């Protein structure tokens, strides 16, 4: 199946809208974990972080991931599978999806008052989606190979 030029542009716009929403969550949730490590388990502050983390993950990140995949997946109808940039982009995307589910796991740890990681760990983890995003955008826009 090949998409018409207009359909392709609409799908690309929708793809990018949900990419932005997904990225917002992937950047902010680990930052909440950094702050959450400072709150005593059982404190009001810790309970508030739990609510913020759960809502961000369920109401923003999961739907945005699904919709990014749907619209990105539809764009693949026009894609040249031989293109190196596309294959490299898909590899980095797998990394982004793995990071997303790792965030879900860390959120569940905090929800059970059973966080296993330090503030430093979440600070470093916070850089991962940034690096992946830079790589993905450079590959998708510059198509260097």
Among 29, 32, 56, 140, binds ligand HEM (CB under 6 A): 140
User: Are the CB atoms for 7 and 67 separated by under 8 Å?
Assistant: no
Residue-by-residue DSSP string for 46-102: HHHHHHHHHHIIIIIIHHHHHHHHHHHHHHGGG--TT-HHHHHHHHHHHHHHHHHHH
Q: Return the residues of window 78-107 that contact ligand HEM according to CB under 6 A.
A: 79, 93, 96
Minimum CB–partner distance for residue 79 and ligand HEM (Å)? 5
| CB nearer to ligand HEM: pick between 18 and 110 | 18
Answer for which of 36, 68, 106, 122 binds ligand HEM (CB under 6 A) is 68
Q: Which of these, 97, 118, 115, lies nearest to 107 by C-alpha position?
A: 115
Q: Which is nearer to ligand HEM, 25 or 49 (CB)?
A: 25
With the CA atoms of 8, 144, 92 and 32 taken in that order, what torsion angle do they form, in degrees rounded to the nearest 10? -90
For residue 2, which phi and psi values (nearest 5 degrees)?
Answer: -120, 140
Residues 26-65 within binding reach of ligand HEM (CB under 6 A):
none
Among 29, 30, 72, 103, binds ligand HEM (CB under 6 A): 72
Q: Could you give the CA distance from residue 48 to residue 95 in angstroms, rounded to a whole number?
A: 29
Region of 44-52, 56-64, 68-76, 101-109 interacting with ligand HEM (CB under 6 A): 68-76
Which residue ranges make up the site for ligand HEM (CB under 6 A)?
Answer: 12, 15, 19, 23, 68-69, 72-73, 75-76, 79, 93, 96, 133, 136-137, 140-141
């Amino acid at each position: 199946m090949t998409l018409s030029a207009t359909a392709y542009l609409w799908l690309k716009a929708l793809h990018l809208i949900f990419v932005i929403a997904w990225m917002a969550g992937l950047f902010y949730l680990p930052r909440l974990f950094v702050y959450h490590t400072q709150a005593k388990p059982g404190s009001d502050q810790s309970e508030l972080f739990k609510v913020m983390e759960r809502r961000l993950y369920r109401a923003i990140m999961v739907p945005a991931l699904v919709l990014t995949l749907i619209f990105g997946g539809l764009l693949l109808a026009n894609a040249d599978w031989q293109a190196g940039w596309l294959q490299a982009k898909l590899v980095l995307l797998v990394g982004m999806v793995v990071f997303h589910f790792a965030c879900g796991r860390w959120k569940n740890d905090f929800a059970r008052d059973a966080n296993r990681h330090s503030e430093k760990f979440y600070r470093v983890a916070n850089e991962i989606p940034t690096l992946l995003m830079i790589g993905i955008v450079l590959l998708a826009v510059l198509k260097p190979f």
